[in-house]
Chains A and B, each alone.
Chain A
């Protein structure tokens, strides 16, 4: 009997039920899309933020102390180096998955055949790494200097140029020395010399336009600096700093045990720096504050925006359901009054109406969920240029949200139903 009545209502009021299902579908689709994007946005924003460059620089402790004492910058007189063989350890820290890219640098001063001096930087371009965790990573300046405009030729490709002594030169240097792609440059370093083939000319819009960039090991050979690096630039996803992070950045030892654990287990730029220092011997990792702050803030604001859109869409859906269900109950007031008159308790009638609404909500929710997955892909492709990975946890979250929205939307109608007295609707006068 119960199901006959449910079926009867669903078929008899199909237009209203479709409207309710549609409203729920709309809310569910937006919630699904926003949650899917929100849960995947970290990775997507990571990719986007890689174009901002590094937000952490790591230099030898000795260089750092001297720089602070004497405000030396770019001075090679106090030379200390980091160890190249420790680079892989950066991807073993607690926040390894937040490290999205990094590149080591070593620089030497070399002389050209015409006796002009030039600074040559050795670095990774698209250095392929297979980490002990099984993760594979292509790190280097190809992605960390994505704002470089390649005016001629192309990016140096490590997989192709290994052992070929290829180099990229800055636009200013190329113009000064009248160099084109394909030309060979003979560089004489303090400990060796080599011929480099120019594969690309870049416009960085700064001092880098005066330099030559080549692969790390080839530049190390020029300067006799095997296994040595000057600095590491790290691009990491961070959480915006708060008071705790600022306190820790000044002196981690001033934290209590619980504060220390909270700080260490949160992706503050200072805690990531601290963890890098733990794995790179005699190093000082410091944040490039503006970049680090803006990255965290962008991610946080993007997620906040999506949460707001989700909440607003669910409030909208709830209001829509509220109107539709109330209208439905009003339309059926004589039927509900009759049920009460012939012995139905409030709980039975409420149960009947809620079951009808929830069946409709489930159908609307399922439709909305799949529509939301579609919306998420549209957002993914139009905003991030790639598809959004659906996280399984979206399903229970959306299901709970649909239930909550449906319940909240049904409250006014159920209150009205409970207050409805058979005498008010049955006499027809």
Chain B
């Protein structure tokens, strides 16, 4: 059974079909990137997969549960338990330290555990910046805090929306390396990006155009430890 499966999913706003009959499967431990121009439906797909929106038509199965029919309260619970979110704008709470920002996700999930939050920061190489406020961190560091926050509750899947969109080349490489590391550890990644260089390092790249799935490319040169065949 796939970890994530979209079956003929459409999202319609009036006459606009933001997503038009899209079907997609993501296996456990897979790294998929979603590419496409602006308005192609990437964010809509990300919102639906991330339990932040519901499709107009179709089914979305996450870990076997059809999330398209859940109430918004249940969607919040599913999002909390199964999904880790990474944003282009980082969205760190600016009056909390890096450590507290990671603990915030624990707080809404279960019980804040400073030791565990520190370990998450260590995983992203930011243990020494734990007590710093977001304003004292570089863009790359903030994004790594965001990654640590996404990881802290051991989600089934990590959804990253333009994770390198606000980063320079050096920091982009740091984040991509981090994704490699996470993938090697078995984390399922779905990365929405404009950047072909970021998209092409994934195991599989999906291209959306006008809400439809226009192309699917399997990366034969994928350098990660876990290959597509391993997932299947």
Contacts and interface: CB of A to CB of B under 8 A. Distances in A.
Contacts of B219: none
Nearest to A421: B52
Contacts of B12: none
B95 A11 contact: yes
Contacts of A334: 89, 91
Interface string A273-295: 00000000000000000000000
Contact of A427 (B94, B100, B161): B161
Contact of B43 (A1, A340, A429): A429
A1 B104 contact: yes
B95 A8 contact: yes
Chain A contact residues: helix, strand, loop or mixed: helix
A4 interface: yes
B87 interface: yes
A338 B91 contact: yes
Interface string B39-55: 00001000100101100
A343 B52 contact: no
Interface in B67-123: 73, 76-77, 79-81, 85, 87-89, 91, 93-96, 100, 103-105, 107-109, 112
Contacts of A339: 104, 108
A422 interface: yes
Contacts of A302: none
A12 B95 contact: yes
Contact of A426 (B87, B104, B109, B153): B87
Contact of A343 (B43, B79, B94, B161): B79
Interface in A325-349: 334-335, 337-346, 348
A344 B93 contact: no
Interface in B153-208: 153, 161
Interface residues of B, number: 31
Interface residues of A, number: 28
B88 A427 contact: yes
B149 interface: yes
Contacts of B80: 342-343
B18 to A, nearest CB: 12
A1 B103 contact: yes
A4 B107 CA distance: 12
Contact of B52 (A11, A346, A422): A422
A343 B107 CA distance: 9
Contacts, number: 77
A8 B135 CA distance: 14
Nearest to A340: B76
Given A422-B52, A426-B89, A342 B73 contact: no
Contact of A4 (B73, B85, B100, B108): B100
A330 B76 CA distance: 21
A119 interface: no
A9 interface: yes
Interface in A406-429: 421-423, 426-429
A12 B94 contact: yes
B225 to A, nearest CB: 29
A423 B149 contact: no
A5 interface: yes
A2 interface: yes
Given A11-B95, A343-B80, A2 B53 contact: no
A343 B80 CA distance: 4
Contact of B85 (A1, A335, A341): A341
A5 B96 contact: yes
Contact of B73 (A341, A345, A429): A345
Contacts of A338: 91, 93
A338 B105 CA distance: 10
Contacts of B73: 345-346
A4 B93 CA distance: 12
B85 A342 contact: yes
A240 to B, nearest CB: 56
A422 B161 CA distance: 13
Most chain A CB inside 10 Å of its own CB: which residue of B47, B73, B89, B95: B95
Nearest to A348: B108
B96 A343 contact: no
A427 B76 contact: no
A8 to B, nearest CB: 3
Nearest to A345: B76
A334 B76 CA distance: 17
A344 B89 contact: no
Contact of B53 (A337, A348, A423): A423
A346 B74 CA distance: 12
A342 B52 contact: no
25 contacts: A4-B100, A5-B104, A8-B95, A335-B93, A337-B91, A339-B104, A341-B52, A341-B85, A342-B104, A342-B109, A344-B76, A344-B108, A345-B73, A345-B76, A345-B77, A346-B73, A348-B108, A422-B52, A423-B43, A423-B47, A426-B89, A426-B91, A426-B161, A427-B161, A428-B89
Interface of A: 1-2, 4-5, 8-9, 11-12, 334-335, 337-346, 348, 421-423, 426-429
Interface of B: 43, 47, 50, 52-53, 73, 76-77, 79-81, 85, 87-89, 91, 93-96, 100, 103-105, 107-109, 112, 149, 153, 161
10 shortest A-B CB distances, which residue pairs?
A: A343-B80, A8-B95, A343-B108, A428-B89, A1-B107, A338-B91, A12-B95, A344-B108, A423-B47, A423-B52
